[in-house]
Amino acid sequence: MGKVAFNIIVNDPVHEVMNFGSDNKTRSWMKAVIDSREFQRLRRISQLGLASYVFPGATHSRFCHSLGAAYLARQVVEHLIEQECDRSLKNKIRKYRKEVIAAALLHDVGHGPFSHSFENVLKDLTGFKNAPLHEEWSAAIISAKKSSISASLLAENIDVNTVSHIISKESSSDMPRFLKQIVSSQLDVDRMDYLVRDSHFSGTAIGKIDLQYLINSLTVIKHDPKNPLTLGLNYKGVKTYESYVIARQLMNRTIYFHRKVKVLEYMIERLIRFIVEEMKHLRQNGEIKPFIPEYLIAMGTLLTRAKGLPNKHARTRFIESNLDAYVQMTEDSIWSLVSVLARVKSQNKKLKYASEIASSILSRKVSHNYRVEKGKESVIKEKLEAKGMKVDVDYAIVELKSTMYKSSDDNVFVVGTDGRLQEVTNHSEIISSLRDKAESETVLVVLNPKKALTIKGAVERISAIIDERLSA
């Protein structure tokens, strides 16, 4: 009697039963990758940063999101194989099936603490250039010779370079463009999963969309011979795609760019930036030094020696040299450091200032903030400067901008009832009218609490003066 093949099943609060099939080779490489130290680290990287300070249930991790993205990638691949009539194309999809699922599983393995906030820390360091992005860290973690992920993929003849290139968006030899778009595009499984997952855990309903209908509406768009194949929709999927892009925009406005969430994230960014900039002095403090993650020390050292990483070669060397330190850093280690900073007693003005920010974050004391009406940013900035207020010292102006559908080389095409290929904007008045139109909100964050009332008064008076001029 032969062995019974059991399905690979993962229970999930969003997709319920995630079935990865019964193939033992798939079971082997997925289990090895998921159980690796690098992937398990994602349990301690939150999906939504500090959004849980506003939406208490939003404590889910990049770990569960990555599993969900892999599950959806498998569904998309299986659907495309089933509906494709061209045998050679069908075989090509089968050829790269494992690489696509692996890339979806590993697309966030290089994320730093607090979602995208950690990248903003380095990007906004004074004079610093070209900090590595999470995609570069992901590619490096996957490709590193000593990485257990790399070993697990190679053991099952999965092309490690192809997987890392999908994530880093570098060109790879033979993989068709439409397969890469399953992982990263305006139709990718990353967005599909995080919309429904973030909606579920935040307790909102606006991100819920009909994923199964959308997936079953996907098709390979066959342009003329001079253009590559792309991932697109049949005409039945247009309305579902409308709900998809609208849901994403509403999630941006309601959760991702929620004013209080962004202010809290700005506070943690500012605190970590202070740690990097003042690394030399912080390491002289015996109470703080043991809690500083090695990677932040590396960043502090780099900042004292140079003003960034001038080119790709320099970034690659920095990543290779600090890969272990980066993988060891999770939100646990940052929270430990924040807790220590909050209780430090010091007469040093800078350290006292950092301690106040850390205490405010831990006790959810959100910095004073005001919505700035569109077009009034420069006037307010001039007035505050005239009052002696310094930007990035006393206040900061943060712009929250999002676009529902962007025109790019990644446009979504639709196969019409007559077989004609047209961009989705030709099938949807909603998407056509809102394409490339950014919705934005500007927030003024008070950095110096002692000047909060003065700043508030200036903002209110300027708004009133401009409103009077407009109505005159």
Mean pLDDT of 84-107: 93
DSSP 159-176: -HHHHHHHHHT---SS--
**In angstroms, what CA-CA distances link 329 with 6, 245, 296?**
36, 34, 9
Gyration radius from the chain CA atoms: 24
What gap in Å lies between CA 5 and CA 8, rounded to an integer?
9
User: Is the per-residue pLDDT at 395 higher than 70?
Assistant: yes
Residue 145's pLDDT band (cuts 50, 70, 90): confident
Residue 58's pLDDT band (cuts 50, 70, 90): very high
Q: Return the H-helix or E-strand segment holding 401.
A: strand 395-403
Mean pLDDT of 259-271: 93
CA nearest to 124, candidates 456, 391, 439, 441: 391
**In angstroms, what CA-CA distances link 256 with 92, 194, 228, 318?**
37, 11, 34, 30
**In angstroms, what CA-CA distances link 310 with 130, 314, 440?**
7, 7, 31
CA nearest to 374, candidates 403, 397, 406, 396: 397
| Start-to-end CA span in the chain (Å) | 90
pLDDT at 417 (0 to 100): 87
pLDDT at 471 (0 to 100): 47
User: Is the per-residue pLDDT at 315 higher than 50?
Assistant: yes
Q: For helices 238-251 and 189-202, what crossing angle results, to 10°?
A: 50
Mean pLDDT of 320-342: 96
User: Is the per-residue pLDDT at 179 higher than 80?
Assistant: yes
CA nearest to 134, candidates 199, 62, 61: 62
Q: How would you list the strands of the sheet with 421-423, edge to edge?
A: 218-221, 230-234, 413-415, 421-423
User: Is the per-residue pLDDT at 148 higher than 50?
Assistant: yes
Residue 346's pLDDT band (cuts 50, 70, 90): confident
pLDDT at 310 (0 to 100): 77
What gap in Å lies between CA 392 and CA 390, rounded to an integer?
6
> Which of the pair, 130 or 221, is modelled with greater confidence?
221
pLDDT in tens, 204-232: 999 899 999 999 999 999 988 777 899 99
* Mean per-residue pLDDT over the chain, rounded: 90
Contact 76, 23 (CB under 8 A): no
User: Is the per-residue pLDDT at 300 higher than 60?
Assistant: yes
pLDDT at 449 (0 to 100): 86
Residue 3's pLDDT band (cuts 50, 70, 90): low
Q: How would you list the strands of the sheet with 369-372, edge to edge?
A: 369-372, 438-446, 395-403
Structure tokens at 386: 């005239």
Mean pLDDT of 418-433: 93
Residue ranges of alpha helices (H) inside 294-368 are 294-305, 312-328, 331-343, 349-362
User: Is the per-residue pLDDT at 177 higher than 60?
Assistant: yes
User: Is the per-residue pLDDT at 78 higher than 80?
Assistant: yes
Structure tokens at 262: 């962004």
pLDDT at 51 (0 to 100): 95
Residue 24's pLDDT band (cuts 50, 70, 90): confident
Q: Is the Cα dihedral 184, 185, 186, 189 positive or negative?
A: negative
What gap in Å lies between CA 254 and CA 35, rounded to an integer?
34
Query: Worst-scoring range by mean pLDDT, 178-192, 219-233, 288-302?
Result: 219-233
